[in-house]
């Protein structure tokens, strides 16, 4: 579990700052870990099937499906598509709590979103169309060359998204996952 910053982008529409902040707060609700949704079917990735097979010491998918509930709480089954789960967990889950810290004025973007230290770099962006874009989880001063490249690529992507949404309002949120 960790705390991290996210940037929530809200389109301007003549609303007050408080109304826009409220919309930013509610935009994050879509990503609530604790939100239950109507049951849906999802196929289990092959690497997870392998881990389950190793754990339960069987390659038989029907036997693994019978143990799905003890694995992750979902019920399971097998069909022509492979091993699947039936879940009510939010498929868009990322966070379990959040708060809007401040509206980010254009003159404060570099400081609040990109920061002097990596601790201030936003690890996620929520776009006006409700998409969660996850950045790298790189904190601290001792970064490998690969982590430094990953961080630089993220900052470039982040700057591009902000440029594409330059007429929107930005909010800094603190999130917990």
The whole-number mean pLDDT for each consecutive block of 10 residues of the chain, a chain of 177 residues, reads 90 94 96 95 96 96 96 95 96 95 86 62 92 84 82 90 93 93
**pLDDT at position 170, please?**
95
**pLDDT at position 113, please?**
74
**Could you state, in order of their start, the residue ranges of all structural domains in the chain?**
3-34+92-176, 36-89
| Closest to 160 measured CA to CA, from 26, 21, 7, 17 | 7
DSSP state of 95: B
C-alpha 56/C-alpha 50 separation (Å) is 10
């Amino acid at each position: 579990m960790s705390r991290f910053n996210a940037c929530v982008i809200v389109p301007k529409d003549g609303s007050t700052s408080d109304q826009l902040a409220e919309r930013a707060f509610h935009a994050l609700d879509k990503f609530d870990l604790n939100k239950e949704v109507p049951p849906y079917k999802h196929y289990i990735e092959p690497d997870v099937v392998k881990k389950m097979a190793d754990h339960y010491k069987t390659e038989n998918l029907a036997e693994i499906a019978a143990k799905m509930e003890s694995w992750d709480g979902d019920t399971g089954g097998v069909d022509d598509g492979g091993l699947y789960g039936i879940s009510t967990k939010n498929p868009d889950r990322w966070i379990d709590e959040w708060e809007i810290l401040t509206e980010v004025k254009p003159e404060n973007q570099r400081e609040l979103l990109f920061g002097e230290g990596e601790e201030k770099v936003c690890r996620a962006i929520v776009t006006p169309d409700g998409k969660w874009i996850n950045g790298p989880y790189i904190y601290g001063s001792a970064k490998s060359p690969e982590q430094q490249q990953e961080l630089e690529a993220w900052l470039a992507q982040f700057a591009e998204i902000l440029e594409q949404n330059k007429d929107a309002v930005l909010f800094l949120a603190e999130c917990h996952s």
